[in-house]
Amino acid sequence: MSDLRIAVLGVGMMGAFHADALSSRIRGSRVSVVSDFFADKAAEVAGRVGGRVETDPIAAINADDVDAVLIASPGQAHDEQVNACLDRGVPVLCEKPLTTAVASARAIVDREAALGTPLIQVGFMRRFDPEYVALKKLITDGGLGNPLLVHCTHRNPDVPPHFNSEFMIRDSVVHEVDVARFLLDEEIVSVQVIRGVATSAAPAGTSDPMIVVFETASGRIVTDEIYVRTGVAYEVRTEVVGERGSATIGLDQNLVVKTTDGRWGGSITPGFVERFGIAYDIELQRWVDAARTGTIDGPGAWDGYAAVAVCEAGVEAVLTGQKVAVDLGAPL
């Protein structure tokens, strides 16, 4: 069987990372088209991974040498690009967010549903991380009894200055939104954001850290500490507390060193590549394998839509200080 020919739209950090994987570590795929607003960036990546440059992303989606599309362009471009994929009926892996507005995300969900085949996978890679998979299995197998609480910790060592409180919700907390929905298998119905004193590393007006509190449909509570300028490393930890036990992942304990300062310990994963590199590859391989049969294998359009809706409520919760309800409208 010949390799799946993929158009990669957007080759910033994330898109370039995926393009490299698709052309080196993933089996059965190759990058046939690279598209980016910055032509030189597109040319550089195409030169490295193979494939031709196509300036217009919509033309890339519709090109004869494209079997599937990976969207890693800025979020504002997703709506048009995902719809173009639906127009042509090609499988797409869309990095979060699905779109930047609740209505447009819902419209995509409904349109795909009308088509009758899942074509849209959303890039929530944590669902493929072996630790999250083990945690999900533990819950599903009943090892913790009924889950009552989820505690998430999401820390970055540093971020660009434009990461304000609102951005932290849309770009960082969105992962915990999907993790909570994935682990608990139900929707989030409200969001509250607790803002305290900020690190002096944060720009004025940005609450970093914040505590985000989600409530699910059945009344479970999910807490998320989001702190993106710790100066430490990349720390993503999740604890689920159930009626018959609790479980934690993200403890990051592998090589343990004892040193002449009289200390023991190890390195924390410095960034998302070290922490979730394997999850990304598993995600890509499974998507490629599925796309070759015309479908997807992972979180879909509804998951992308729900995340957009919860984050929209989260941003309102940041601004108002109130608990904000999430309304997902009619179920599919």
- The footprint of its own copies (CB under 8 A) covers 24-27, 130-131, 134-135, 138, 143-144, 146, 148-149, 151, 157, 192, 194, 196-201, 209, 211, 213, 215, 218-221, 223, 225, 227, 230-233, 235, 241, 243-249, 251-260, 262-268, 270, 278, 285
What is the helix (H) or strand (E) element at residue 318, kind and residue range?
Answer: helix 301-320
* Minimum CB distance to its own copies smaller for 64 or for 264: 264
What is the helix (H) or strand (E) element at residue 105, kind and residue range?
Answer: helix 102-115
* Minimum CB distance to its own copies smaller for 14 or for 268: 268
Minimum CB–partner distance for residue 292 and its own copies (Å): 13
Minimum CB–partner distance for residue 8 and its own copies (Å): 17
Q: What is the DSSP letter of 269?
A: P
Minimum CB–partner distance for residue 28 and its own copies (Å): 8
* Minimum CB distance to its own copies smaller for 77 or for 221: 221
Give me the half-sphere count of Cα atoms (radius 13 Å) on the Cβ side of residue 66: 28
Q: What is the DSSP letter of 38?
A: S
**C-alpha span between 12 and 15 (Å, rounded):** 5
Cα end-to-end distance, the chain, whole Å: 35
* Minimum CB distance to its own copies smaller for 225 or for 316: 225
CB contact at 8 A, 310 and 326: yes
Minimum CB–partner distance for residue 257 and its own copies (Å): 4
CB contact at 8 A, 22 and 30: yes
Minimum CB–partner distance for residue 246 and its own copies (Å): 5
- Residue 192 DSSP SS3: strand
* Minimum CB distance to its own copies smaller for 114 or for 251: 251
- Which DSSP string do the residues of 78-103 spell out, in sequence order? HHHHHHHHHHHT--EEEPSPS-SSHH
Minimum CB–partner distance for residue 287 and its own copies (Å): 15
> Is the bond preceding 97 in cis, omega lying within 30 degrees of 0?
yes
* Minimum CB distance to its own copies smaller for 59 or for 194: 194
